[in-house]
Structure 1
Amino acid sequence: MAWLDAHARFDPDRHHAPVVGIAATLGHHDSGLHAHRRGQLLFTFQGCTRITLQRQLCLLPPSRAAWIPPGTPHRAVMQQSVEYRSIYLTPALCADLPSQVRIIEVSPLLRAVLEPIAHAAFDSDWMQGRNAHLLGLCLEEIRQAAPQPMLLPLPQDKRLAPLLKTLEQLPPALAVLEQQIGASGRTIGRILQRETGMSYQQWRQQWRLMRAIELLATGRSLSYCAFELGFASDSVFIAFFKLMTGLTPKNYLR
């Protein structure tokens, strides 16, 4: 295990143990685009982490975890100060784990086993004794964890490039987007359906949900989020959030 500061660099592939864990506190950190041979489970206590993949935008809210399979190019941007735990598993240990990036619920059991794994020495023996039991529980909890709707597929068609240049801003209404890119709503819908599996309205709503969680997790008020995301009132925003997640914003972040 290593405690890392904001300027530390860590390469899990330099180590030989099947499991390598770290505990870190980083502030306004940008990992840059990278990949490692190991699978990674990234768990954050607070703050919000945006993970950019080749064709997806992924959001890691506080108290959830991101599973990143071996060899997946990704870039993690952490806003504000983020305390996290990260464990790296050899490809052999990842054989029965999800083959795609996903955000998962962190059960009390998974949270409990992550701590000793993240704090274990880099040369720990993971094949027997207490460590073997911890590892087995960790792998099973990752396999069984409920996925969270925190992935936004990104269309690759050049006609929609202007849409992706302003991912910090609320995507425009369909009629406005038609004017901006010179394509009909039907054409835009076909592109989105083909490349993301969503209609434009579904894609825009997914963006709104992820941006709402990002804003709330970094300290923005309900009223600010409702205004920023184009909702008529706080109550309309709360109803939207509950429809998408099953929870109110307050309960989700709790």
Structure 2
Amino acid sequence: MAWLDAHAPFDPDSHSAPVIGIAATLGHHDSGLHQHQRGQLLFTRQGCARITLAQQLCLLPPSRAAWIPPLTPHRAVMQQSVDYRSIYLTATLCADLPSRVCIIEVSPLLHVVLEPITDAAFDSDWTQSRNLHLLGLCLNEIREAAEQPMLLPLPQDKRLAPLLTTLDHLPPTLAVLEQQIGASGRTIGRIFQRETGMGYQQWRQQWRLMRAIELLATGRSLSYSAFELGFASDSAFIAFFKHMTGRTPRTYLD
């Protein structure tokens, strides 16, 4: 079985097979900034991972998967214990897959297919028989998967650098941010619209959603999460979460 040694570095590009799969359970793991010649599908069966890209922050919630195209610099940080599966595909196999990082829903079929792929030996033959069918199903499920809004574009304007150094804490209101960086609300709005495609309030709400999922997925209670994110009550937090995702926190994580 292709289980990863948590203490040894792993280089999928050192293998010749078109598909390389691994299974691992890691705790408080930081991959550091790196990239692969291959595309990567990272599926968290349990736990939560934060993926940092050049100009985006990406959250990988439990039971979802991150698609990372070839040659994409990224850093994955896993808090507490994360049980995950990962497959690496050559650039040829990635030709019809998304060309940008995205978080996708994992269908029951994709969930099942990933297990034998990550169990397979690194030198497996993927050109015939059962493996060929498994690979075809896997690629099709990735192509057809619904995307999740788990990407937060990061503004690059130097005036906003203090905001980006405290991304674990609730971003301030617009009025407070104006005072912190010495720019008007209109100027801040233009910066965010230009560099993230969102207004500041929309960006702040997206941050709140991603942080909410991260807190809940790492064992914080609903009341603790609501307080940390600045909601007046648990019911206000639940209403916000349902508005953003279409589900309550409990059903989303289940």
Partners of 1:113 and 1:90 in 2: CA distance: 18
1:14-71 deviations in Å (ceiling 9; x for gaps): 0000000001111100000000000000011111100000000000000000000000
- Counting only pairs closer than 5 Å after superposition, residues 236-247 of structure 1 correspond to structure 2 as 236-247=236-247
Percentage identity across paired residues of the two chains: 85
Partner of 1:228: 228
| SS of equivalent to 2:117 | helix
Matching of residue 10 in structure 1 with residue 10 in structure 2: yes
Counterpart in the other structure of 1:65: 65
SS in 2 for 1:193: helix
SS at match of 1:166: coil
Alignment deviations for residues 217-252 of structure 1 (CA, whole Å, 9 cap, x no partner): 000111101110000100000000000000000000
Gap regions ≥5 residues in structure 1 = none
1:100 aligns to what SS in structure 2?
Answer: coil
Superposed CA deviations along residues 118-156 of structure 1, whole A, max 9, x for unmatched, are 010111111110100000000000000000000000000
Per the alignment, residue 162 of structure 1 pairs with: 162
Q: Give the drift of 1:5.
A: 3.4
Q: Which residue number corresponds to residue 115 of structure 2?
A: 115
Which residue pairs with 1:173 in the alignment?
173
What does residue 26 of structure 1 align with?
A: 26
Whichever residue aligns with residue 38 of structure 1, its letter is R
Counterpart residue type for residue 181 of structure 1:
I
* Conservation of the 8 A alpha-carbon contact between 1:170 and 1:229: yes
TM-score of the superposed pair, with normalisation by structure 1? 0.99
- Measured against aligned partners, the alpha-carbon deviations of 1:79-130 in whole angstroms (never above 9, x if no partner) come to 0111111000000000000000000000000001000000101111111101
Cα distance in 1 for partners of 2:45, 2:67 equals 15
Q: Which amino acid aligns with 2:176?
A: V
Pairwise mapping of residues 31-50 of structure 1 onto structure 2 (< 5 A)? 31-50=31-50
Output the amino acid matched with 1:43: F
Return structure 1 stretches of 4+ with deviation > 6 angstroms. none
Give me the whole-angstrom Cα distance separating, in 1, the residues matched to 2:72 and 2:173: 33
Distance 2:154 2:80 in 1: 25
Query: 2:149 is matched with which residue?
Result: 149
Paired with 1:46 and 1:112, the residues of 2 have a C-alpha distance of 15
Q: How far has the Cα of 1:8 moved from its partner?
A: 2.2
TM-score normalised by structure 2 residue count: 0.99
SS of 1:46's equivalent in the other structure is strand
Amino acid in the other structure paired with 1:39? G
Say how many residue pairs are matched: 254
Alpha-carbon contact 1:38-1:89 (below 8 Å) kept = yes
Which residues of structure 2 form unaligned runs of 5+?
none
CA apart distance, 1:7: 1.1
Q: Equivalents in 2 of 1:21, 1:37: separation in Å?
A: 15
Q: Helix, strand or coil: the match of 2:27?
A: strand
Alignment of 1:74-223 (within 5 A): 74-223=74-223
Query: Take 2:69 and 2:5, find their aligned partners in 1: how far apart are those partners?
Result: 25
The answer as to whether partners of 1:5 and 1:26 remain within 8 angstroms in 2 is no
The separation in 1 between residues aligned to 2:45 and 2:215, in whole angstroms, is 16
